[in-house]
Structure 1
């Protein structure tokens, strides 16, 4: 019954998070379109891009109600087929897209850090974010996502060995018969009767691919995050740039840092811990559902730093809440934002 209780709690968290995510991200999009300075530039479209991404992620989470499950040297994303709009084949495809959204989330923030560095360094490549060229940057998360989709659908597809290994355990914990759910996930190795290990090559290959995407994303974030931070500090120390411009760049940089930490804490760290337990052949069982819960929460809380830290949006919210009026002398112009 423990699995049933976890499943019910997970469903509640997913539903509540999805409603909050769709609401707050839609509100943020409205603020971006109506309360941003006219010269905000490409950053406006980057913020809208990530909000739309998180809305779609939340919708997919509610449609699938996926459950992460670790059992020995395998980890699965299980989707029940009862009371669903799609059949097993359709749910398997959507499950692979769920993998894709996870992978794409890492690249989204990597692109943001590259953009922020181009702005503060006044790099000529900033022009590539104007006009149709911005779609080249927007395509980067799509390629990351497609890599995860293919890894989930082809290299982590159900097979007889995996099904035989997890069938009884899933039935015991979740009270699900084998024909009541679909799954995707790698079965890395199995222990033979003589004590030897038989490696499953394709799942290991798939895990290597998605590990490479994770490492590349982390490297991009760390490198360009440091370059951006260093450039902002040198602007303050060595130039006569306006104080408001310096303040604004710091605001946007720290908002981005906090916004990036959210998926790392709620998604990537829990998933990495689960991967480590799989390699060590330690059975997390039903407690793997914590990963499903934190992933569901991510798109609901991720917009909050932007709403709170970016001055235009924060003041608009405070006005709506009646904290101060438009004529309040404490409310001043945010200054020249043409270089955002």
Structure 2
């Protein structure tokens, strides 16, 4: 019998993936049809991120994960009761969804690098031109594949881990441990004498994932701070209304695109993943993080649509065509990514 929580979770995830597909397709359409030529290769980056968000949302719907922290363990669980997939194939999808986290944080880091180079106004966006753009596109994919590889090598389901999860997932989610697959870490295990021991294999995998996560996180902090400082100086130097409006849009977009991944990805996943290492039991937070993980691809495109004038005007004009027709005042298009000389 499916629990009430599972029904609610499935409904929320269906709404989330539906909204994510719609909003990301809208953004791709706006980028292709409404973006200024001044945006240059940033148009390709936005489409790339949106296509990946669609893949992320579809995988999340297929897996419908339970992100769970319990005692000395952290896991991403897929219920196989109504699934036609074999355990190995299902595990691949779970590991791929975990890999989406890796792709996402590296893609965000690249976005921050691009934004900083654009703010410098020194022609350095040439590093994102031509064949070099393929290099930047490959970095998130390699980051995600590294996550999948580590999950497969060090975080594959094993009988001891499954038995450890059995009672808690039945009481929390009405899941049968015999009909699940998962990836995760079980850090402290019992030896033959009943003494607790450190699981080297799982811990090395977790350490590897933490390293893979800290690299883009550090890049985001460094380039986010440098961009903030640059924007502050440009605001002080700006005299025209156009310049002030441009820098304020840059500032708002930067803040929004920093806060969203921090709220939905970095902090909740990082805390839930790290808590078992320090013997902190925050199992009750698992439900919130499960929903946050699913919400991210639906929320991520919203700041771009709202903070880039061409997109915002076109979007609201489509939602309210009468208001668009009656609009008299012209609005100057301001791009938050142009490398202006």
TM-score, reference length from structure 2: 0.90
Task: State which drifts further: 18-27 or 282-291.
Answer: 282-291
Secondary structure of 1:324 counterpart? helix
Secondary structure of 2:215 counterpart? helix
Give the root-mean-square deviation of aligned CA atoms: 2.5
Partner of 2:107: 108
Contact (CA 8 Å) 2:308, 2:334: kept in 1 or not? Answer: no
Aligned: 1:79 with 2:85: no
Counting only pairs closer than 5 Å after superposition, residues 274-313 of structure 1 correspond to structure 2 as: 274-285=272-283, 287-313=285-311
- Provide closer, same or farther for how the CA distance between residues 245 and 43 of structure 1 changes in structure 2, counting only shifts above 3 A: farther
- Provide closer, same or farther for how the CA distance between residues 80 and 195 of structure 1 changes in structure 2, counting only shifts above 3 A: closer
Secondary structure of 1:330 counterpart? coil
Contact (CA 8 Å) 2:163, 2:177: kept in 1 or not? Answer: no
- Provide closer, same or farther for how the CA distance between residues 63 and 85 of structure 1 changes in structure 2, counting only shifts above 3 A: farther
Contact (CA 8 Å) 1:74, 1:185: kept in 2 or not? Answer: yes
Partner of 1:99: 98
Partner of 1:266: 264
Secondary structure of 1:325 counterpart? helix
Q: Distance in 2 between matches of 1:294 and 1:338?
A: 32
Q: Distance in 2 between matches of 1:319 and 1:41?
A: 24
Q: 1:229-267 CA deviation, whole Å, 9 max, x = no partner?
A: 222333344478x65355335424531431232121012
Counting only pairs closer than 5 Å after superposition, residues 9-24 of structure 1 correspond to structure 2 as: 9-24=8-23
Q: Distance in 2 between matches of 1:54 and 1:166?
A: 30
Partner of 1:233: 232
Secondary structure of 1:331 counterpart? coil
Q: Distance in 1 between matches of 2:194 and 2:278?
A: 16
Q: Distance in 2 between matches of 1:121 and 1:83?
A: 53
- Provide closer, same or farther for how the CA distance between residues 78 and 300 of structure 1 changes in structure 2, counting only shifts above 3 A: same
Aligned residues: 338
TM-score, reference length from structure 1: 0.90
Secondary structure of 1:186 counterpart? strand
Q: Distance in 2 between matches of 1:309 and 1:332?
A: 13
Contact (CA 8 Å) 2:155, 2:184: kept in 1 or not? Answer: yes
Residue ranges of structure 2 left out of the alignment (5+ in a row): none
Q: Distance in 1 between matches of 2:250 and 2:49?
A: 15
Residue ranges of structure 1 left out of the alignment (5+ in a row): none
Q: 1:192-245 CA deviation, whole Å, 9 max, x = no partner?
A: 5867431111111111111112222222111111222222333344478x6535
Contact (CA 8 Å) 1:173, 1:286: kept in 2 or not? Answer: no
Shift of 1:325: 3.2
Partner of 2:314: 316
Counting only pairs closer than 5 Å after superposition, residues 1-340 of structure 1 correspond to structure 2 as: 4-192=3-191, 196-238=195-237, 244-245=242-243, 247-285=245-283, 287-320=285-318, 321-322=320-321, 324-326=323-325, 328-334=327-333, 339=339
Q: 1:270-325 CA deviation, whole Å, 9 max, x = no partner?
A: 22221343224344446512211111111112211111111111111232213633
